[in-house]
């Protein structure tokens, strides 16, 4: 009898792939992955997200520069997931519904969640077919440029990108912190000393090699936390302002 862990070996062995073989993904696979995305659970059935498949090499290069990751331009498939409240706004408008300021934070986050779920569903599906992928939260490094590049109208907003194809590398399985720090029963558990709680994880991370810099071990997790806090990108701090520019009524006043 197959064990539970054997049955779930694909998600349990998830790893980020950044280098791909120089061969296209079969169109049947692409079309099936589109169907997988389309069957993803969606808030109140509104399907408030969309996906743009990037085939233009110049746009791939431009997105690579926005991400600050040169391998993005080499991904055989590059999909951008985005909030799409524009479609339903227009559907309501064409029925003479007084839409006004109905594109509020609730609808934004419905679309954001829908798109994020679809991105994960696609990733799980493609990995089950032997492909590999990389999530690209880095498309948010310059949201206005992404909006311009993809001709996104009002009431839309980028969420995340996925680059995928046939893997041309086999990276280590990246360590994860103990589940007791992320999974709780009935209520949040506060630890008296988090540095002590992650001591073993910190040591494990120091033995992990990130293939983006194969000759250098990564910092322990606790140091990475501080580094990430220091490295806040100015343009990412404009997210709320850009959401408003895109027509989302955030009710901040």
Q: Domain containing 62 — which CATH number? A: 3.40.109.10
Kindly report the pTM of this predicted structure.
0.94
Is the residue at 242 inside a domain? no
Is the residue at 63 inside a domain? yes
Q: What is the pLDDT of residue 50?
A: 98
Is the residue at 12 inside a domain? yes
The closest alpha carbon to 125, from 171, 77, 85, belongs to 77
Residue 208 · residue 174 · CB < 8 Å? yes
Place of tokens 């079969």: 26
Question: What are the backbone dihedrals phi and psi of residue 78, each rounded to the nearest 5 degrees, phi first?
Answer: -135, 115
Question: By mean pLDDT, which of 55-64, 97-106, 205-214, 221-230 is the weakest?
Answer: 205-214
Contacts 24+ apart (CB under 8 A), 103-108: 103/155, 103/247, 103/248, 103/249, 104/248, 104/249, 104/250, 104/251, 105/248, 105/249, 105/250, 105/251, 107/46, 107/48, 107/248, 108/83, 108/157, 108/243, 108/248
86: containing domain: 4-172
Is the residue at 207 inside a domain? no
Alpha-carbon distance of 146 to 140, in angstroms, equals 8
- In our burial notation (b when 16+ CB lie closer than 10 A, e otherwise), range 87-116 reads bbbeeeeeeeeeeeeebeeebbebbbbbbb
Is the residue at 106 inside a domain? yes
Q: What is the pLDDT of residue 251?
A: 76
Alpha-carbon distance of 154 to 136, in angstroms, equals 22
Provide the mean pLDDT of the chain: 93
Q: What is the pLDDT of residue 209?
A: 66
The mean pLDDT of 50-63, rounded to a whole number, is 98
Q: Which two tokens stand for residue 78?
A: 């590059």
26-46 per-position pLDDT tens digit: 999 999 999 999 999 999 999
Is the residue at 33 inside a domain? yes
Alpha-carbon distance of 171 to 155, in angstroms, equals 39
Number of domains observed in the structure of the chain: 1
Q: How confident is the model at residue 140 (pLDDT cuts 50, 70, 90)?
A: very high
59-91 per-position pLDDT tens digit: 999 999 999 999 999 999 999 999 999 999 999
Does 218 or 191 have the greater pLDDT score? 191
The closest alpha carbon to 56, from 158, 160, 150, belongs to 150
Is the residue at 80 inside a domain? yes
Alpha-carbon distance of 163 to 165, in angstroms, equals 7
Is the residue at 194 inside a domain? no
Alpha-carbon distance of 163 to 134, in angstroms, equals 5
Strand partners, 165: 132
């Amino acid at each position: 009898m197959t064990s539970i862990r054997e049955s779930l070996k694909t998600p349990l062995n998830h790893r980020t792939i950044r280098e791909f073989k120089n061969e296209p993904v079969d169109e049947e696979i692409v079309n099936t992955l589109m169907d997988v995305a389309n069957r993803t659970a969606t808030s109140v059935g509104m399907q408030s997200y969309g996906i743009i498949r990037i085939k233009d090499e110049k746009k791939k290069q431009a997105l690579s520069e926005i991400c600050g990751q040169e391998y993005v331009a080499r991904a055989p498939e590059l999909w951008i997931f985005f909030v799409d409240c524009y479609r339903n706004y227009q559907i309501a408008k064409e029925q003479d519904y007084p839409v006004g300021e109905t594109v509020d934070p609730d609808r934004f986050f419905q679309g954001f969640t829908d798109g994020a779920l679809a991105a994960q569903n696609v990733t799980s599906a493609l990995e089950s077919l032997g492909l590999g992928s990389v999530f690209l939260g880095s498309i948010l490094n310059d949201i206005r440029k992404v909006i311009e590049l993809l001709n996104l109208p009002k009431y839309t907003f980028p969420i995340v990108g996925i680059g995928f194809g046939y893997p041309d590398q086999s990276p280590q399985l990246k360590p994860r912190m103990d589940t007791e720090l992320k999974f709780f029963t009935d209520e949040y558990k506060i630890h008296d000393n988090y540095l002590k709680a992650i001591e073993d994880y910190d040591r494990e991370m120091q033995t992990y090699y990130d293939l983006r810099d194969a000759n250098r071990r990564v910092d322990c997790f606790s140091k990475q936390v501080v580094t990430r806090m220091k490295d806040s990108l100015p343009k990412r701090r404009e997210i709320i302002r850009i959401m408003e520019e895109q027509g989302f009524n955030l009710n901040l006043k």
